[in-house]
Amino acid sequence: MRRVQYRHSGGPEVLEVVSVETPAPGPGELLIRVEAIGVTLPVVRKVRESRAPIALGGEVAGEVVAVGDGVTGYAPGYRVTGLVFGHAYAEYAVLSAEMASPIPDGASSVDAIALVRSGLVARGALEAAAPREGESVLVTAAAGGVGHLALQLARVRGAGRVVAAVSDPSKGEFLRRLGADEVVEYGQPWGEPVDYVLDAVGGELLGPALAAVAPDGRLVAYSSGGGVIQAYDLLVGAKSVIGFQMARIAREQPDRYEQWRQELWQYYAARLVKPRVHAEIPLADAAAAHTIIEARANLGKVVLIP
């Protein structure tokens, strides 16, 4: 089978397609014939920053072709999506049955990739913010795979004013069609403070994100970009910063994780949440997908197709 990997850190140009043996599922695992793969900023960053090559993990969706010992509830022919911690950029991938989620009839593998993992992160970040009816929210990286779902979910949860923050104002029309009341640009004034911010960027944007929070408001940080804030900036406005990590929920609160997954498919069926796909790119052109993500050029999800 074909698999994308890299031999040393760098930009998209270091990715290469190699031929390897098809893996076999171990105990508690599923072997998936992959039909779609989600490309995420954390994985793109790891390729550029990791000291040694790592497996390109991520979201996959496709058909179960084999199951390992001890697996119940799944069999060959089932269509599933889930997060792979090993090699995901491949024609076949091994997925833990605990991380698998059925794809409903009528939904494609690309639909599943655009909705489930990114939607779970958006749903979890929103849960961490504990929003109240009518509150205002600002979402950074609002046009990304997670962000464009977060702003829709915030509206579903009763947000009275939704502000989308982006790197490029040309993304404004896309975001307004999805329900944003205002679109603001990094480095420019962000208007009236909001009750809570969902920040997927971090780094140098963490300070402005906190500044956008009204007194007694909340900042939910769920990026892999790091960043530093000053304690005084919290004290002066009685603001709170809340960290959120999806993997922790998946490991420690599987019932809640499953509840959120079911919610997302219900919202999808009711057309309350509309996942968007920026591009479907052949697996062999994975470098092109990473280039789009690094440039922050995507409107919605970037998906690889084996």
Residue with tokens 């940080």: 221
Whole-angstrom distance, CA of residue 240 vs CA of residue 258: 28
Single residue among 229, 246, 263 that ends a domain in this structure: 246
197 is a domain residue: yes
Does 130 lie in the same domain as 201?
yes
Single residue among 206, 231, 246 that ends a domain in this structure: 246
266 is a domain residue: no
Residue 248: predicted pLDDT: 84
Does 225 lie in the same domain as 141?
yes
Beta-ladder partners of 96 = 29
Does 128 lie in the same domain as 234?
yes
Single residue among 246, 262, 293 that ends a domain in this structure: 246
Local confidence pLDDT in tens for the 306 residues of the chain:
999 999 999 999 999 999 999 999 999 999 999 999 999 988 999 999 988 899 999 999 999 999 999 999 999 999 999 999 999 999 999 999 988 999 999 999 999 999 999 999 999 999 999 999 999 999 999 999 999 999 999 999 999 999 999 999 999 999 999 999 999 999 999 999 999 999 999 999 999 999 999 999 999 999 877 888 888 888 889 999 999 988 788 778 888 988 999 999 999 999 999 999 999 999 999 999 999 999 999 999 999 999
Q: Provide the 10 A C-beta neighbour count for residue 40.
A: 22
Residue 24: predicted pLDDT: 97
Asked whether the beta carbons of 216 and 193 are under 8 A apart, the reply is: no
Helices in the chain by DSSP H: which ranges? 41-49, 109-129, 147-156, 172-177, 206-211, 231-235, 246-252, 254-269, 286-294
32 is a domain residue: yes
- CATH label of the domain that carries residue 241: 3.40.50.720
25 is a domain residue: yes
Asked whether the beta carbons of 99 and 73 are under 8 A apart, the reply is: no
Backbone angles phi, psi at 226, to 5 degrees: 70, -150
Does 129 lie in the same domain as 242?
yes
Does 61 lie in the same domain as 93?
yes
Whole-angstrom distance, CA of residue 256 vs CA of residue 252: 9
Question: 71: domain range?
Answer: 2-103+276-305
Torsion, CA 289, CA 294, CA 300, CA 304, rounded to 10: 20
Tokens of 71: 């697996």
Does 297 lie in the same domain as 204?
no
Q: Residues near 286 by Cβ (< 8 Å), separated by ≥ 6?
A: 4, 12, 15, 17, 39, 89, 304
Which CA distances in Å does 201 have to 55, 143, 154, 167, 227? Answer: 23, 12, 18, 11, 9
109 is a domain residue: no
110 is a domain residue: no
217 is a domain residue: yes
Residue 115: predicted pLDDT: 96
How many structural domains compose the chain?
2
Beta-ladder partners of 79 = 63
- CATH label of the domain that carries residue 13: 3.90.180.10
Whole-angstrom distance, CA of residue 108 vs CA of residue 240: 39
Does 122 lie in the same domain as 87?
no
Does 88 lie in the same domain as 133?
no
Does 98 lie in the same domain as 6?
yes
263 is a domain residue: no
Residue 228: predicted pLDDT: 87
Does 147 lie in the same domain as 240?
yes
Does 285 lie in the same domain as 237?
no
Does 34 lie in the same domain as 59?
yes
Residue 229: predicted pLDDT: 86
